[in-house]
Amino acid sequence: MERLVISGGTPLEGTVRVSGAKNGALPLLAATVLSEGRCVLQNVPDLKDIRTLAEILREVGLSVEKTAPNTYVTRLLSEENSVARYELVSQMRASIYLLGPLLAKRGEARVSLPGGCVIGLRPVDLHIKGLRALGAEIELEHGYIVARAPGGRLRGARMFLGGPNGSSVGATANVLMAACLADGKTIIEGAACEPEIGVLARFLNRMGATIEGIDTPRLVITGVPALRGARVTVPPDRIEAGTFMVAAAATGGDVRIEEAPLDHLGAVVAKLREAGVEVLEEDDGLVRVRRQGPLRPVNVTTLTYPGYPTDMQAQLVAMLTLADGISVVSEKIYPDRFMHCAELNRMGAQILKQAASAIVRGVPRLSGADVMASDLRAGAALVIAGLVAEGRTTVHRVYHIDRGYERIEEKFRGLGACIERLRGTPSTTLKRAA
Ligand code: EPZ
């Protein structure tokens, strides 16, 4: 089992480059199912989740070739098999993005229900509601979503896709992709406005779709008979960029970030500045993040875009464990997304969980410990904590982190961190009582 071993206390300094966005690349790859032609995706991050989705695309009849380190080329070979198997879907929830494209392009789809994960139940009811609104007949059988379009075609419809916690990124992506090949006009009210949806919509339009209202909560799609091949460059990962910004702030460092999509990090930058962190946009386009004075406590609530992103919550909590006062961090997207708090408390943090909030009382220092990653953002938070803690921290179950961060230890080492990846079984095999 791989683990990251970190000796903390070194302020991060230097320049780091952000990779392509995981949550941008996944829907773009799924969208290639809709195309009759050749699609080229550039700046695709080299992550396990990407490789898993590429494997599923091959199983449903696409040729998926990695023609360069971060470039994928896809082509349709066969439409015989439209089943996304449990064995692969259970490894990567975003496989649900294949449901809409397979259904719209081929008239049928069988996609394993993704199941939940540690951050929450992760329901897909909005995906199903939206596709049913387009005329799909959908049954749940033996853990699979079995969908078919009567007569092989979906039909456009007006719908509201917002859920109990606001809009849904995944449901918006699924229904948007399906509507591109439906007969007639579709209006999606309550659509997610995350930047990844905008990138997906522009890619679909380059494939020949007709989508209006991009980057707004109201998408209007006029269905077309077929979509051609197209090219797309995956945008830089705003969450990875935010993670490095918080790590620079937490360690009291001075870091420059290449390709940081500042336009899509407004809420994160605002919170960091409120906490006493300097965030500067330099002439050469790099974003400079440094902190010299004490960290001030802040209150934050995660919201859908452009609010503070839930995917940046754990990282901020790790930083706030060292603030001069009490911070309250509330989750409106995933109320259970606080697994990192118990691990941070093992490092000397003082965090109290109250319903869907974490109350973080700042402490003078953290101390290194063995900790366990539970999901990719919690894992990133533990790395940040290890970078500032006194002594040695070992972060176990690094595979969680590798799902969303390309070569994380190399990037932090490039900023002066003392961090390495060890393989094999640690001397004391870490088993946490249930
Ligand atoms: C995407 O997940 C991201 N994953 C998540 O990132 C991110 O946390 C999430 O959006 C919110 O921004 C990918 O893009 C691959 P949602 P998704 O549907 O689409 C509820 C990471 O760390 N909901 O926007 O699954 C849901 O319970 C991952 O990179 C329903 O009620 O999230 C949640 O409260 C973690 N019914 C809220 O909506 C549904 O059918 C937002 O979920 C779907 C969602």
Could you give the percent of the chain with pLDDT greater than 90? 90
CB 217 within 8 A of CB 189: yes
How many Å apart are CA 243 and CA 221, to the nearest integer? 35
Residue from 238, 265, 333, 338 whose mutation best tests the ligand 1 pocket (most atoms within 8 A of CB): 333
How many Å apart are CA 172 and CA 189, to the nearest integer? 10
Q: What is the pLDDT of residues 86-119, one digit of tens each?
A: 888 888 889 999 999 999 999 999 999 886 677 7
pTM: 0.96
Q: What is the pLDDT of residues 373-417, one digit of tens each?
A: 999 999 999 999 999 999 999 999 999 999 999 999 999 999 999
Q: What is the pLDDT of residues 16-43, one digit of tens each?
A: 999 999 999 999 999 999 999 999 999 9
- How far, in Å, from the CA of 170 to the mean position of ligand 1? 6
pLDDT at 434 over 70: no
Q: Whose CA is nearest to atom 16 of ligand 1?
A: 168
Q: What is the pLDDT of residues 171-201, one digit of tens each?
A: 999 999 999 999 999 999 999 999 999 999 9
Annotated active-site residue in 39, 117, 193, 418: 117
CB 318 within 8 A of CB 307: no
Ligand 1 contacts CB of residue 281 (under 6 A): no
How many Å apart are CA 3 and CA 1, to the nearest integer? 7
Ligand 1 contacts CB of residue 123 (under 6 A): yes
CB 58 within 8 A of CB 108: no
CB 89 within 8 A of CB 56: yes
Q: Which pLDDT belongs to residue 283?
A: 87
Please name the helix (run of DSSP H) or strand (run of DSSP E) that holds residue 360, with its range, or none: strand 357-361
Token pair listed for 254: 């001075």
CB 98 within 8 A of CB 109: yes
Residue range 120-144: mean pLDDT, rounded: 93
- 372 Cβ neighbours under 8 A, 6+ residues apart: 343, 382, 395, 396, 397, 430, 432
Task: Specify the DSSP class assigned to residue 156.
Answer: -
pLDDT at 433 over 60: no
Ligand 1 contacts CB of residue 125 (under 6 A): yes
Which residue carries 């935010």 as its tokens? 242
> How distant, in Å, are the alpha carbons of 22, 71, 215, 318 from that of 305?
17, 28, 10, 22
Instruction: Band the pLDDT of 1: cuts 50, 70, 90.
Output: confident
